[in-house]
């Protein structure tokens, strides 16, 4: 009779999430995840082809969490301001996970950037104030807003600055207005 699986896919993903959320992707190893579950690495490799497969499943789960529970929260009624307030809030609330996803070399990387851009475009296009923006204008808006929001998030999560939500919202509104008035798009290459 075959032995019953005692460690599930969800338990492995939960342990992997805890490792990344507390220690970052540099500690994302089968041994560290197994240690979190107090078991051998065998259940991990029975459930996932390899660590890349596990990382891919984890990143997908994190994207779903960010899209449905973090970035979708309505706060001020302006989708761009809301997205940035939620992004900055995430950076301050879940400092280690934020750094792992957005700042570490082994984090989300290009896929995190693509996820962020796609979510931004999907969200912004629903708002009548921004629905007529061209692809180039959307890319320019994302770049400018993302740079300002990331600067704020990094400075705030490091404890260097402590602006209020009203101050952040005002700065982001002014940033959006300035980007919309530009004659030429912001064109900065990532990588």
Q: What is the pLDDT of residues 9-34, one digit of tens each?
A: 999 999 999 999 999 999 999 999 99
pLDDT of res. 188: 77
Could you please report the per-residue DSSP string of 136-167? HHHHHHHHHHHHHHHHHHHHHHTTS----HHH
- Check: CB of residue 96 under 8 Å from CB of residue 176: no
- pLDDT for 32-81, tens place per residue? 999 999 999 999 999 999 999 999 999 999 999 999 999 999 999 999 99
Q: How far are the Cα atoms of 22, 51, 62, 75, 172 from residue 79, in angstroms, in the given order?
A: 30, 36, 21, 9, 11
- pLDDT for 87-110, tens place per residue? 999 999 999 999 889 888 776 677
Question: Residue 111: pLDDT band by 50, 70, 90 thresholds?
Answer: confident
3-state secondary structure of 180: helix
Q: What is the dihedral of CA 157, 160, 166, 170, to 10 degrees?
A: -100
pLDDT of res. 27: 92
What average pLDDT does the structure give for the chain? Answer: 91
Q: What 8-state DSSP symbol labels residue 95?
A: H
Q: Does domain 1-51 have CATH number 1.10.10.60?
A: yes
Q: Cα-atom radius of gyration of the chain, to the nearest Å? A: 19
Other beta carbons within 10 angstroms of residue 127's beta carbon come to 14
């Amino acid at each position: 009779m075959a032995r019953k699986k005692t460690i599930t896919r969800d338990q492995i993903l939960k342990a992997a999430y805890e490792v990344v959320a507390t220690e970052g992707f540099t500690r994302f190893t089968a041994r560290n995840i197994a240690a979190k579950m107090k078991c051998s690495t065998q259940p991990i490799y029975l459930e996932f082809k390899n660590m890349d497969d596990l990382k891919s499943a984890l990143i997908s789960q994190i994207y779903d969490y960010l899209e449905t529970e973090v970035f979708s929260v309505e706060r001020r009624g302006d989708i761009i301001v809301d997205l940035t307030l939620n992004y900055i809030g995430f950076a301050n609330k879940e400092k280690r996970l934020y750094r792992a996803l957005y700042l570490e070399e082994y984090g989300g990387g290009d896929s995190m950037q693509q996820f962020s851009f796609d979510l931004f475009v999907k969200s912004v296009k629903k708002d009548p104030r921004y629905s007529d923006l061209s692809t180039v204008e959307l890319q320019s808006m994302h770049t400018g807003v993302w740079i300002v929001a990331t600067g704020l998030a990094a400075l705030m999560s490091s404890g260097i600055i402590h602006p209020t939500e009203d101050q952040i919202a005002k700065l982001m509104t002014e940033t959006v207005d300035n980007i919309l008035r530009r004659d030429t798009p912001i064109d900065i290459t990532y990588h």
